[in-house]
Amino acid sequence: MSPLQTMSRYPFAEIEPRWQAYWEEHGTFRAVEVPGQPKFYCLDMFPYPSGAGLHVGHLEGYTASDIVSRYKRMRGFNVLHPMGWDAFGLPAEQYAVKTGIHPAITTAENIATFRRQMKRAGLSYDWAREINTTDPGYYRWTQWIFLKLFERGLAYVAEVPVNWCPELGTVLANEEVVEGRSEVGGFEVVRRPMRQWVLKITAYADRLLEDLERVDWPASTWEMQKNWIGRSIGAEVDFPLDGVNGNLRVFTTRPDTLFGATYMVLAPEHPLVDALTAPAQREAVAAYREAAARKSDLQRQELDKEKTGVFLGGHAVNPVNGERLPVWIADYVLMGYGTGAIMAVPGHDARDWAFARAHHLPIREVVAGGDVTREAFVDLEHGVAVHSTTPDGAFSIDGLEAAEAIARITDWLEAAGKGRRAVNYKLRDWLFARQRYWGEPFPIVWVDGEARGLPEEQLPVKLPETDRFKPEGTSEDPQSPLARLSDWVETLDPVSGRPARRESNTMPQWAGSCWYYLRFLDPSNPERLVDPAREKYWMPVDLYIGGAEHAVLHLLYARFWHKVLFDIGVVSTPEPFMKLVHQGTVLGEDGTKMAKSVGNVVNPDDVIERFGADAVRLYEMFMGPLEATKPWNTRGVEGITRFLDRVWRLLVDEEGRLSGALTGDDPSPDHLRTLHQTIRKVTEDLDGLRFNTAIAQLMTYVNELTPLKRRPRALLEPLVLLLAPFAPHIAEELWQRLGHAESLAHATWPAWDPALVEADTVTVAVQVNGKLRATLEFPRGADAETVASVALADERVRRHLEGFVVGKRIHVPDKLLNLVITPR
């Protein structure tokens, strides 16, 4: 950069660090509870501090929340805007496995980088509230919450089918498995039954579903949570076994199709398989079960075109008509949902239809309206029940539509003791243990094969030191690296004093992020998770900004913990996050996803170095709507620096002094109007998080002021304030040069005068048959007659009327006149 170029640029490299130091020294962004002052809790999803540092995608969400925070401060709110680190997790640990360097060391380094980058971007966090999930002072309370869950029976050990990832040497939650592979690393995952810690999130399924009504979230996220919980209402029906004592219980959402069941299917893992297997089938069944057990989820998916299964040889009896139904096993029926068994109604279920076709099983129509020889008829709205009368004629739903039929037959089943109403959820209990080193230890010891919670006074259970981080467990014996540390594992039961073994699994990464927003309220309280008065003051989070990738995982888990904390009186609100916004993805300059392998990653350090933090912040917001996916364009950042240069030159002359063009003049009415329009637009857009259009309006305003030789302060001071949330460094600098001693961080946001916003003349569009022919100036409020008479006299309008009769005149005051004409 040549010296001459530098002259026309505002000196961001000098200004920005100076103001960052000022804010830090003066504690400008410290948040302190002030009774009576309205609060605003503006939260970012705190990051996992990876080795790569921040990229401009992170910065988009952080900038947005920072702008809102700064704006709200100027609107008189007491703003809480904190930041911390979700620092347990796989990458640091995998790095440790590879290099032997303790994850605590790399984590600390990465955090230092993140913090430096955030400060450099001018983010107005209250750094006094910084938290770190790996800090024993923090995870002590993560463990404390676990104890509460354990005490309430919401944490338990069970033999459950889990997702075992051999490559990572750990189990994973359903939510961490994407298309049969681990979300982290993309390694293959297999299903295995294992004894593991599980959290009973299903006990909260209804509340998690219902309370979605209370929050203002993106519809897509709302919908995803709803689908993930997957509540469905139906009935459980008991089918007596033929020749064997016992019942086969199934769940169905379509009890109205009970008369159409032609066979039954069990999941391969179902406990009744053995009882129902005929000697002749034993070998085939065993082979099928073994094959199914070996299949990973990935393989199951690849094979989903063809429905496989084996007949067991046994039968069950349909309780409505006494028919003997053959019982099969097939892996399209899942052990984890419902009862792990279904009644197959091929006429009215697409999966059963495909299976029946493949295995030559009968298909029976019991809802008229489709053609069950061609495909399953599953329409719930249309069609009436047929062939649905008991053999003795005592009960029938024939002729009824589905809704009515379902109610009737369910009542009948209940009365007869053959079934009952039932609700099922897709949501499963949350597999909570990981066979890893770098996570929170459980506050649990095992005594005589029984899990016991440690007393609160013994918290935190600190993560023991080691230099061997590699999990060496197998699917038969999944073991955390902690299991090898016998000095740590072998302990005494604090109650009985008898020998005990510590639980050696660790918690998953989600644990720490389930409640971090509460610790920010009272980050170093040694007595409590959070002081109740502080909790009441700050909660709930008013605005929560973070990536859509957490739509299910983090946001569902955190809501679950929050509700438990609500139940035990730790928090006062049923939901933690009121308004939620997901920032969109920032793509590389080439329009593809930023990735190190492609080499299109934009590092904020580089762009801040070249253009300054203010320019980067402004550009991040100017690219487009916050939620949209949009490509980075360095040229666009240059455009923004030109804008900031123009703002600078409005107030500062070539020698760097306050410009002599500034005057105490009253602004012209036109300029005053643009000012008030700008205040209104920027204010409304900030309230609606429409940062891009707010910036566009600021540009328009600056463009209008630029040609002025004499520039009234009354036009410029509000501009500086309006710009401040977006570009705080340049704004602070200009504000100071304008003679203000105090930082503008808490200055009063400009107000607009509605009377000054509207112009007294308006442009009215004149259309003929909907086509624009002229635009005319009128005083505001001109009536239809006035507008029409001028319009009809206008040559540009008149020449389109020749040979036609003017019929209807549509007049939208101050906007438009449309003349509807027909041939004469």
Part of the chain binding RNA (CB under 7 A), chosen from 118-126, 512-520, 545-553, 558-566: 545-553
Contact 102, 466 (CB under 8 A): no
Peptide linkage before 540 cis (omega within 30 of 0): yes
Q: Is 105 in the site for RNA (CB under 7 A)?
A: no
Strand pairing class (324-329; 310-317): antiparallel
CB of 477 to RNA, least distance (A): 27
Q: Is 805 in the site for RNA (CB under 7 A)?
A: no
Figure out which of the listed residues 195, 214, 357, 799 binds RNA, where binding follows CB under 7 A: 799
Residue 304 or 414 having the CB closest to RNA:
304
- The distance from CA 443 to its chain's CA centroid, rounded to whole angstroms, is 30
Closest to 738 measured CA to CA, from 763, 761, 710, 715: 715
- Opening angle at CA 658, ends 655 and 661, nearest 5: 100
CB of 353 to RNA, least distance (A): 11
CB of 337 to RNA, least distance (A): 4
CB of 313 to RNA, least distance (A): 21
Q: Is 359 in the site for RNA (CB under 7 A)?
A: no
Q: Is 633 in the site for RNA (CB under 7 A)?
A: yes
Residue 74 or 548 having the CB closest to RNA:
548
What's the rounded Cα separation, in Å, for the pair 618 and 66?
A: 12
Residue 427 or 601 having the CB closest to RNA:
427
> Angle, to 10 degrees, between the axis of helix 613-622 and the axis of helix 56-74?
100
Figure out which of the listed residues 224, 407, 447, 714 binds RNA, where binding follows CB under 7 A: 224
What's the rounded Cα separation, in Å, for the pair 333 and 356?
A: 14
CB of 777 to RNA, least distance (A): 9
What's the rounded Cα separation, in Å, for the pair 405 and 256?
A: 5
Residue 424 or 506 having the CB closest to RNA:
424
Part of the chain binding RNA (CB under 7 A), chosen from 185-193, 561-569, 624-632, 783-791: 624-632
**Total residues in contact with RNA, by rule CB under 7 A:** 89
Part of the chain binding RNA (CB under 7 A), chosen from 36-44, 155-163, 594-602, 765-773: 765-773
- Opening angle at CA 61, ends 682 and 584, nearest 5: 95
Burial of 505 (0-12, 13-18, 19+ CB in 10 A): buried
Give the chain's radius of gyration (CA, Å): 34
Q: Is 251 in the site for RNA (CB under 7 A)?
A: yes
Closest to 438 measured CA to CA, from 86, 134, 112, 137: 134
For 473, the token pair is 């467990």
Footprint (CB under 7 A) of RNA, residues 314-343: 331-334, 336-338, 340, 342
Query: What is the side-by-side order of every strand in the sheet holding 816-823?
Result: 771-779, 761-768, 816-823, 804-812
CB of 46 to RNA, least distance (A): 21
Q: Is 640 in the site for RNA (CB under 7 A)?
A: yes
Q: Is 426 in the site for RNA (CB under 7 A)?
A: yes
Part of the chain binding RNA (CB under 7 A), chosen from 2-10, 389-397, 463-471, 720-728: 2-10
Q: Is 304 in the site for RNA (CB under 7 A)?
A: yes
Figure out which of the listed residues 227, 496, 572, 761 binds RNA, where binding follows CB under 7 A: 227
Figure out which of the listed residues 14, 25, 153, 219 binds RNA, where binding follows CB under 7 A: 219
Residue 297 or 323 having the CB closest to RNA:
297
Q: Is 635 in the site for RNA (CB under 7 A)?
A: yes
Footprint (CB under 7 A) of RNA, residues 267-296: 267
Q: Is 411 in the site for RNA (CB under 7 A)?
A: no
Figure out which of the listed residues 69, 106, 424, 435 binds RNA, where binding follows CB under 7 A: 424
Q: Which residues contact 177 (CB under 8 A, 6 or more apart)?
A: 163, 183, 189, 297
Residue 308 or 396 having the CB closest to RNA:
308
Peptide linkage before 460 cis (omega within 30 of 0): yes
* Helix/strand/coil (H/E/C) assignment for every residue in 245-268: CCEEEEEECCHHHHHHCCEEEECC
Q: Is 149 in the site for RNA (CB under 7 A)?
A: no
Contact 764, 816 (CB under 8 A): yes
Neighbours of 540 (CB within 10 A): 21
Part of the chain binding RNA (CB under 7 A), chosen from 52-60, 302-310, 539-547, 651-659: 302-310
For 144, the token pair is 């404390």
Figure out which of the listed residues 159, 223, 477, 665 binds RNA, where binding follows CB under 7 A: 223
CB of 634 to RNA, least distance (A): 9
Q: Is 775 in the site for RNA (CB under 7 A)?
A: yes
Contact 796, 774 (CB under 8 A): yes
Figure out which of the listed residues 773, 778, 782, 788 binds RNA, where binding follows CB under 7 A: 773
Part of the chain binding RNA (CB under 7 A), chosen from 297-305, 493-501, 598-606, 732-740: 297-305
- The distance from CA 808 to its chain's CA centroid, rounded to whole angstroms, is 52
CB of 816 to RNA, least distance (A): 5
Residue 329 or 463 having the CB closest to RNA:
329
Figure out which of the listed residues 642, 657, 746, 780 binds RNA, where binding follows CB under 7 A: 642
CB of 711 to RNA, least distance (A): 14
CB of 622 to RNA, least distance (A): 6
What's the rounded Cα separation, in Å, for the pair 174 and 432?
A: 11
Instruction: List b or e across 101-128, with b for residues whose CB sees 16 or more CB atoms inside 10 angstroms.
Output: ebbeebbbebbebbbebbbbbbbbbbbe
Part of the chain binding RNA (CB under 7 A), chosen from 11-19, 126-134, 429-437, 767-775: 767-775
CB of 633 to RNA, least distance (A): 6
CB of 226 to RNA, least distance (A): 9
Question: SS3 for 350?
Answer: helix
Q: Is 239 in the site for RNA (CB under 7 A)?
A: no
Figure out which of the listed residues 707, 739, 803, 823 binds RNA, where binding follows CB under 7 A: 707
Strand pairing class (39-44; 78-80): parallel
Residue 111 or 548 having the CB closest to RNA:
548
Neighbours of 780 (CB within 10 A): 11
In terms of C-beta distances under 8 Å and separation of at least 24 residues, what long-range contacts does 361-368 make, across chains too? 361/262, 361/263, 361/326, 362/262, 363/262, 364/259, 364/260, 364/262, 365/260, 366/256, 366/257, 366/259, 366/260, 367/256, 367/257, 367/260, 367/402
Footprint (CB under 7 A) of RNA, residues 452-511: none
Residue 736 or 786 having the CB closest to RNA:
786
